[in-house]
A and B are shown apart, each in its own frame.
Chain A
Amino acid sequence: MRGKVALAALLGLAVVVAGVAVGSVYIPPADVLRIISHRALGTALPAGLDSAHISIVWELRLPRVLLAFVVGAALSVSGAVMQSVLRNPLASSYTLGVSSGASLAAAIVILYGFVIPLAGVMTLPLVGFMFGLGTIVLALAFAARVDGQMQNNTVILAGMVFSLFVNAVTTLLISLSREHAARLIFWQMGSFAMRGWQAVAILTPVLLVIGLFVLGKSRELDIMTFGEDQARTMGVRLGRVKWSLLIAAAGLTGSAIPFVGVIGFIDLVAPHLVRRVFGSSHRLVIPLSALTGGAFMVLCDLAARTVISPSELPVGAVTAMIGAPFFVYIYLSGRKAGVNR
């Protein structure tokens, strides 16, 4: 197990370096590492290094790759939490409407340019979090109303309905504002281009704080996969734990989405792969989902900006192209297994 974890960590690091190295201009990985260590640690640079390369690495690619990594990590941890809390391998912030809610919030903030007093640059993630949480609460309340058992299909369907509705509101807002329409539509499809260091600086602490909180709830997350009644008779303070975890999950997705647009399915794919390889124990699933989701997102972004270079694909489209068939696969394999005997 240790070996597998170490291998995964190395792969993740390699993906990050590759993400910085590859692009319209190829920069050798050794140079990438030298430039990063020069800017971050102040080590000397070898002579003959193209100064354009330095700014490509430091100003353009590194912040972009790190942002992709942090967002991928945040979304995946959020997905892992949702799946355990709702005991549903198909649950995720994307399928339950958090992403749509956050995206609506971002559209409103961008269109009307308002700032919450005292929150400043944190307005975007804060509003995204609140709208994301609002959407999932409505979707779950609706699901509980329709089907007291909260069966998987009902929950997913409720999430889809609310998410489509909220998306429609966003589309309406965008189409009413001609001048911003093109920019917003492209933004909505998801992209890591030109976000700079600021987004990384805001999201990294959010991810770390919430991620550590979630990691501290690993045992509860494990127990909750066996059902709510079971968890309560085993001593879990269910109401408190469940809501704090749902809020944490909405916080991760809701604060990430407003910076980068809607990027779906990664929160389904990464935790699922991690559970396949490393088992379901959340003490491993949480950090490894972050690692896998981060690396996977860097790869998707790499594909998004190189496949039809010099133009770019929206990264949300890339993750959906991979993720949607994967969703179908999980759904069908879950059905075939029934109660997994």
Chain B
Amino acid sequence: MLTVNNLSAGYGGLDVIHEVTFNLAAGECLSIVGPNGCGKSTLLKALSGLLPFKGEAEIGGMPIRTMNASQLARQLAMLGQSSGVYFSYTVFDTVMMGRYPHKKGGLLGLPTKKDEAVALDCIQSVGLLDERDREITKLSGGQLQRVFLARTLAQQPRILLLDEPANHLDLRYQTELVDHLKNWAGQKSGAAAGVFHDLNLAIRFSGRLMVMEDGRVRALGAASEIIQSGLLEEVYKMDVAGYMRACSAFWECEQSS
């Protein structure tokens, strides 16, 4: 569904990512990991139309480059880290904004009944139906991120890009969010690519990992194989497996004691 071939992009004429190639099929999720500054977020920015790029990127055979802003927004949506909110809207109004790329002509481009139905459906799917008339400035961080997720889903995209979507969320919301996204991809035959700092969360999101280093793809494949290959230790320059084992050992002796 998403085909990326030899994609390079950067800022001010200087490439930060080089010749990135990968595919995403319908219903598939991909976790993108790598140390700070490896180009993960830059890759997402290029794919979502925020940065010009060289190379090819196509959604369902149609080049991203040839799409205008609202065409692209109907195909692909981005959920970033939850950021601050300066102006207050109700949950419902916020999610309705996701319907913007579907707006018809007309002077005001007013939302239709269908837009409202889709928005309510998305609000329900993140479990906030009872909160739909609350002001978003009064919500907790976890609730707010779910509102943003609902807004992203209201775009009805085929592809979701996630840029550390679970940052600032507590453990329960992190896992709920990731599970929700996985379910979405399965049920709607969408595809999702997510950047994660937390390797455990990355593996929970998808068994398929893409490891980046210095703007290049170092590995792309099953998480289990990548872990065994010792590549993570090389890329992160630390004993990743040892650290993970130490963590889980700690939990095990806590349980048995």
Contact = CB atoms under 8 A, between A and B. Distances in A.
Interface of A: 83-84, 87-89, 215-216, 218-220, 222-223, 225-227, 229-230, 232-238, 275, 279-281, 283, 334, 337-341
Given A233-B78, A235-B70, A338-B84, A281 B93 contact: yes
B83 A339 contact: yes
A267 to B, nearest CB: 16
Interface string B61-72: 000000011101
B157 to A, nearest CB: 10
B90 interface: yes
A223 B100 contact: yes
A281 B155 contact: no
A233 B50 contact: yes
A341 B107 CA distance: 36
Contacts of B69: 232, 235-238
Contacts of A84: 87
23 contacts: A83-B87, A88-B86, A219-B97, A219-B103, A220-B100, A225-B86, A225-B87, A226-B83, A226-B85, A227-B83, A232-B49, A233-B50, A234-B73, A235-B72, A236-B69, A237-B70, A275-B88, A280-B88, A280-B89, A283-B108, A337-B137, A339-B83, A339-B84
Interface string B139-154: 0110010000000000
B127 to A, nearest CB: 20
B70 A341 contact: no
Contacts of B84: 338-340
B190 interface: no
A227 B107 CA distance: 24
B108 A235 contact: no
A2 to B, nearest CB: 15
A89 B86 contact: yes
B98 A340 contact: no
A234 B103 contact: no
Contacts of A88: 86
B140 to A, nearest CB: 7
B4 to A, nearest CB: 17
Contacts of A230: 78, 80, 83
Contacts of A225: 86-87
Contacts of B90: 279
B109 interface: yes
Given A219-B109, A279-B93, A235 B83 contact: no
Given A233-B48, A233-B49, 13 more contacts: A89-B86, A219-B103, A219-B109, A220-B100, A223-B97, A223-B100, A226-B83, A229-B50, A232-B69, A233-B50, A235-B69, A283-B108, A339-B84
A218 B108 contact: yes
A219 B107 CA distance: 12
A136 to B, nearest CB: 20
Interface in B97-138: 97-98, 100-101, 103, 107-109, 135, 137
Q: Which of A216, A233, A280 has most chain B Cβ within 10 Å?
A: A233
Nearest to A228: B50
B74 interface: yes
Given A222-B97, A235-B70, A235-B101, A279 B89 contact: yes
Given A233-B77, A341-B140, A280 B87 contact: yes
B71 to A, nearest CB: 8
A330 to B, nearest CB: 11
Contacts of A280: 87-89
A234 B100 contact: yes
Which 6 residue pairs are nearest across A and B when measured between Cβ atoms? A339-B84, A235-B73, A235-B101, A235-B70, A280-B87, A233-B78
A340 B86 contact: yes
B83, B89, B155: most-surrounded residue (chain A CB, <10 A)? B89
Contact of B107 (A87, A216, A237, A334): A216
Contact of B108 (A216, A222, A338, A339): A216
Contacts of B144: 341
A339 B70 CA distance: 29
B85 A340 contact: yes
